[in-house]
């Protein structure tokens, strides 16, 4: 622990009140919203600091849900998708509810099971003007949408492109029963 310019001490970790869960800078956490009917906010801890009265403050970098960002939720956004923003805030550490994990999209899609504490992030978000980085991502299917890990897709064995069953005239059940698939272009 080091003293800061304002007389506060930097902390290496914080134990979430009422639990045995330890969080550190770099960890992602869920934070209690001001309104009880809202989902918890998700943030990454940047710094932990204790003042002379033993109050712990946390500097966080917020993740936004698609519906909180400019443009709102779109068809290709996954249910557990977050955007890492450039929005920082100081909060009381008492508002931390629990620890969570924000995976890359690639790691998220390889999880054997997705828990309540698992999220994924593929974009950075600039809160002031609603800009995303990267501006473009790979698109798939005839509909040319980015990948949504919540949607079933089938891969063509000819061109290796991925397709939504509904975009190729199939139900999800029919797609799951396929042993081999060739898109219309490769089949002809």
Please list, in sequence order, all residues whose beta carbon lies within 8 angstroms of the beta carbon of residue 168, skipping any fewer than 6 positions away: 142, 154, 183, 184
Second CATH level (architecture) for the domain 9-134: Roll (2.30)
Total Cβ atoms within 10 A of residue 41: 21
Rounded Cα gap, residues 115 and 125, in angstroms: 24
Locate the domains of the chain by residue range.
9-134
| Average pLDDT score over the chain | 92
Helix or strand (DSSP H, E) at 107:
helix 105-109
Residue with tokens 């934070």: 31
Q: What is the CA radius of gyration of the chain?
A: 21
Cα-flanking dihedrals φ and ψ of residue 118, to 5°?
Answer: -95, 135
- The first and second tokens of residue 177, run together, are 């029963």
Query: Strand 96-104 vs strand 81-92: parallel, antiparallel, or unpaired?
Result: unpaired
- Going by pLDDT thresholds of 50, 70 and 90, the confidence category of residue 7 is confident
Report d(CA 82, CA 50) in Å as an integer: 29
CB 124 within 8 A of CB 86: yes
Note the residue count of the chain.
Answer: 188
pLDDT at 2: 54
Beta strands in the chain (DSSP E): 9-11, 14-15, 22-23, 28-31, 41-50, 56-64, 81-92, 96-104, 118-126, 131-133, 139-140, 145-146, 154-155, 162-163
* 145: helix, strand or coil: strand
Enter the pTM of the model: 0.85
pLDDT recorded at residue 137:
82
| Number of other CB atoms surrounding residue 23 within 10 Å | 20
Task: Assess whether pLDDT exceeds 80 at residue 185.
Answer: yes
* 97-153 confidence digits (pLDDT tens): 999 999 999 999 999 999 999 999 999 999 999 999 987 788 899 999 889 999 999
């Amino acid at each position: 622990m080091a003293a800061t310019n304002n007389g506060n001490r930097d902390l290496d970790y914080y134990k979430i009140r009422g639990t045995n869960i330890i969080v550190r800078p770099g960890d992602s956490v869920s934070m209690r919203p001001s309104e009880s009917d809202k989902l918890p906010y998700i943030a990454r801890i940047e710094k932990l600091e204790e003042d002379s009265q033993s109050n712990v403050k946390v500097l966080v970098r917020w993740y936004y849900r698609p519906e909180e960002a400019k443009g709102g939720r779109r068809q290709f956004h996954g249910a557990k998708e977050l955007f890492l923003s450039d929005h920082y805030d100081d909060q009381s550490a008492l508002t931390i509810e629990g620890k969570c994990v924000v995976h890359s999209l690639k790691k998220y899609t390889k999880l054997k099971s997705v828990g309540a504490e698992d999220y994924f992030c593929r974009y950075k978000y600039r809160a002031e003007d609603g800009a995303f980085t990267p501006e473009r991502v790979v698109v798939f299917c005839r509909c040319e949408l980015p990948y949504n890990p919540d949607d079933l897709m089938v891969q063509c064995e000819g061109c290796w492109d991925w397709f939504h069953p509904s975009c190729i005239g199939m139900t999800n059940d029919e797609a799951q029963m396929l042993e081999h698939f060739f898109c219309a272009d490769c089949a002809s």
